[in-house]
Amino acid sequence: MIARPCNRAEAPNRGVIVCDRGFMVDLVEKPDESTARGLERQHGPDALVLLEGRARADRSFLDFLWSYRPDRAMEAKLSLALSAYARTHPVRVCRISSSVTDLGAPVP
């Protein structure tokens, strides 16, 4: 999973990943400012990163997706499936600070 340093102002538009020693512990999808502040208090700012929306999946995760059924109240999102997967499997988080070029984005 690729992530960037957490900026509370960007949190409402992104997922916030809670990390422990470089591995995902939890993911909070688009938290409001109050929730983001609470995550900082609970886990410390150094344990939080923003979801970049890029990941390298292995066969184990793809097998998990095949059988994963989110709660009916949950929106089907890959990030939430990854969060569920991380509860029982190690998901390494790679922190980056450089910009990411989306090769599929239209030219400005």
* Per-residue model confidence (pLDDT) at position 75: 60
Query: Once rounded to an integer, what is the mean pLDDT over residues 85-99?
Result: 91
Is residue 63 one of the residues assigned to a domain? yes
Asked if residue 103 is part of any domain, the answer here is no
pLDDT tens sequence across 40-64: 999 999 999 999 878 888 999 999 9
Range of the structural domain that residue 14 is part of: 2-95
Determine contact, residues 15/27, Cβ cutoff 8 Å: yes
79 pLDDT more than 70:
yes
Query: Residue 40 corresponds to which tokens in the numbers above?
Result: 């900082």
User: Would you say residue 72 lies in a domain?
Assistant: yes
User: Has residue 65 been placed in a domain?
Assistant: yes
Cβ neighbourhood burial of 82 (10 Å; 0-12, 13-18, 19+) = buried
Number of domains in the chain: 1
pLDDT exceeds 80 at position 74: no
Residues contacting 17, CB < 8 A, separation 6+ = 1, 3, 24, 26, 27, 48, 49, 50, 51, 93
Q: Is position 85 within any domain?
A: yes
104 domain residue, yes or no? no
pLDDT at 99: 77
Q: Are 70 and 76 in contact (CB under 8 A)?
A: yes
Q: Which residue has the tokens 């989110």?
A: 70
Q: Is 87 domain-assigned?
A: yes
The verdict on residue 88 lying in a domain is yes
Of residues 10, 48, 56, the one with CA closest to residue 32: 10
